[in-house]
């Protein structure tokens, strides 16, 4: 099965480091991040899960729950978490899905045979409260994720869902945003009282509406 942007993220039930769970029940009405790891007790993944734990307050601010996945079993996950907490100076409190049979990995297209027939690739999905897939990023096994970018995209998705704007290259929270082409400059000046700067008829900026 291939998951694409805009698809409904499929539900599943699975064992995890925190016990049996139902994915949809776990997410509730929150945003969600589901990310896969090639295997337990691997160095890059250890740093990633440690960073995810340290960013808990940032994810909480964004009403976002995180859940990881590896093809190892729940006992291995729990042992690995002890190493993560020790080496990364953190306290992992989010679930890591046990996917020995690769059911979830195959459902979410986390197995790429040309990269590895057995290990999951380093993929990450952002899922909105309607359970729609809004972002898919896949890294090679050797490259750790950039969590600054993940938080940046979350901010952009939540901002653009709530306001009629888009975000430009290298945008960060607080920067000016773009007025979409579907809105005329005249209408934009009414919609965005902080002002509209027109560089071209199709390229207009306005200060971030919620700042």
CATH of the domain at 185: 3.30.1020.10
Q: With left for phi above 0 and alpha for psi between -120 and 50, is residue 109 left, alpha or beta? A: left
Q: What is the mean pLDDT of residues 83-111?
A: 93
What is the structure's pLDDT at 112? 61
110 contacts 121 by C-beta, under 8 angstroms: yes
Domain shared by 46 and 102, yes or no: yes
What is the structure's pLDDT at 66? 98
DSSP class of 3: -
Number of domains into which the chain is organized: 2
Domain shared by 46 and 116, yes or no: yes
Angle (CA) 80 95 77, round 5°: 20
Domain shared by 101 and 55, yes or no: yes
Whether 125 is covered by a domain: the verdict is: yes
Domain shared by 131 and 169, yes or no: no
d(C-alpha 208, C-alpha 123), whole Å = 30
Domain that holds residue 198: 163-206
Is 92 or 102 the better-scoring residue by pLDDT?
Answer: 92
- Residues, the chain: 211
Locus of tokens 């080496």: 87
- Give the model confidence (pLDDT) of 139-188 as tens digits: 887 889 999 999 999 999 999 999 999 999 999 999 999 999 999 999 99
Catalogue the active-site residues.
45
Whether 185 is covered by a domain: the verdict is: yes
9 contacts 127 by C-beta, under 8 angstroms: yes
pLDDT band for 117, please (50, 70, 90 cuts). very low
Whether 211 is covered by a domain: the verdict is: no
What is the structure's pLDDT at 134? 98
DSSP class of 156: H
What is the structure's pLDDT at 116? 54
Residue 100 pLDDT > 90: no
Read off the pTM.
Answer: 0.92
């Amino acid at each position: 099965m291939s998951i694409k942007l805009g698809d409904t993220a499929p539900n599943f039930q699975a064992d995890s480091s925190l016990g049996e769970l139902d994915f949809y029940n776990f997410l509730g009405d929150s945003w969600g991040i589901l990310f896969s790891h090639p295997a337990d007790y691997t160095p890059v993944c250890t740093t990633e899960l440690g960073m995810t734990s340290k960013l808990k307050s940032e994810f909480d601010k964004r009403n976002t729950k995180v859940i990881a996945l590896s093809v190892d079993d729940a006992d291995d996950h729990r042992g690995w978490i002890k190493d993560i907490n020790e080496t990364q100076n953190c306290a992992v409190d989010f679930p890591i899905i046990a996917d020995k049979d690769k059911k979830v990995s195959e459902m979410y297209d986390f197995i790429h045979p040309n990269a590895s027939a057995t290990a999951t690739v380093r993929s990450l999905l952002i899922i909105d409260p309607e359970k729609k897939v809004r972002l898919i990023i896949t890294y090679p096994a050797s490259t750790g994720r950039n969590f600054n970018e993940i938080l940046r995209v979350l901010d952009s998705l939540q901002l653009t869902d709530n306001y009629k704007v888009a975000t430009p290259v290298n945008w960060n929270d607080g920067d000016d945003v773009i007025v979409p082409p579907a809105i005329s400059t005249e209408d934009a000046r009414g919609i965005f009282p902080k002002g509209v700067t027109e560089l071209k008829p199709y390229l207009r900026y306005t200060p971030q509406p919620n700042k």
